[in-house]
């Protein structure tokens, strides 16, 4: 059984759905009960609405209804692995620079997984994010998948590394095991996309290599069904 590690980076997707969800969020803002004077209520709403909108925009990329796939980083285990990391894994970096390119990215991910005869999908926090997000975006883009992703629930063809590890962010585990970690943070992605700094985004996603090393260690210690 060959493993395939996947990791997605996402970006804000501003459409009519985005606007509608934001409007509903803003409509729910109410001043606390101790605000009784009209001027006080007005000042509260004027200060609260920009804060709520900024928070919504910051988190929009985490919801497949308001975010889209920007990058797919994949490591596919080779059929005849060698000694070095590159002899053991085939690495892919797929980028959708525009909204219109997202469907093509999904199709490429699907082809890689199907053609490599992947037997198990490996993620870090993928059960709650990567997999349902990918499925949601495939549905929205009307892209049929040849490779059937594991369901949102527990599935034996999916190994989420978080199930085997004590608490801790992926970056910390990569540092502890000597692997490559991300250069920058998720907050930088918004800046890089606006600047069209695609090289910075690719460097940011190089942690897929360290993640492959981490997974090799985990599966030598923990048995996944």
Quote the pLDDT of residue 152: 58
Residue 48 lies in a domain: no
What's the rounded mean pLDDT across residues 74-91?
A: 93
Query: What is the pLDDT of the chain when averaged over all its residues?
Result: 91
Domain count of the fold of the chain: 1
Please name the residue that has the structure tokens 């925009």: 57
CA–CA distance from 186 to each of 21, 59, 61, 163, 201 (Å)? 23, 11, 10, 23, 10
Q: What is the pTM of this model?
A: 0.90
Residue 27 lies in a domain: no
Looking at residue 173, which CATH number applies to its domain? 3.30.420.10
Quote the pLDDT of residue 225: 66
Question: pLDDT (tens digit, 9 = 90+) per residue, 144-202?
Answer: 999 988 875 667 789 999 988 888 888 888 988 877 777 777 788 999 999 999 999 99
Strands (E) in the chain, as ranges, are 2-12, 67-77, 89-95, 118-123, 158-160
Domain of residue 132 covers 2-14+61-221
Alpha carbons 199 and 98: distance in angstroms, whole number:
15
Closest CA relative to residue 86, chosen from 95, 71, 75, 94: 75
């Amino acid at each position: 059984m060959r493993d395939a590690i996947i990791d997605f980076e996402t970006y804000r997707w501003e459409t009519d759905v985005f606007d509608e969800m934001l409007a509903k969020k803003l409509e729910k803002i109410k001043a606390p009960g101790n605000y009784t004077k009209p001027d006080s209520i007005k000042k509260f709403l004027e200060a609260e609405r920009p804060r709520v909108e900024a928070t919504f925009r910051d988190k929009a990329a985490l919801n497949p209804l308001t975010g889209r796939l920007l990058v797919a980083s994949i490591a596919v285990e080779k059929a005849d692995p060698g000694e070095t990391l590159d002899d053991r894994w085939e690495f892919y970096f797929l980028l959708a620079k525009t909204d219109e390119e997202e469907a093509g990215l999904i199709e490429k991910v699907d082809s890689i997984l199907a053609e490599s005869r992947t037997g198990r999908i490996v993620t870090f926090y993928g059960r709650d994010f990567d997999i349902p997000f990918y499925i949601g975006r495939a549905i929205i883009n009307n892209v049929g998948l040849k490779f059937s992703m594991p369901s949102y629930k527990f599935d034996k063809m999916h190994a989420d590394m978080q199930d085997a590890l004590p608490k801790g962010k992926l970056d910390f585990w990569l540092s502890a095991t000597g692997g490559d970690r991300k250069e920058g943070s998720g907050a930088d992605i918004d800046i890089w996309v606006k600047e069209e700094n695609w090289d910075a985004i690719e460097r940011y996603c190089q942690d897929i290599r360290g993640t492959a090393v981490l997974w090799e260690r985990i599966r030598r210690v923990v048995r996944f069904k």
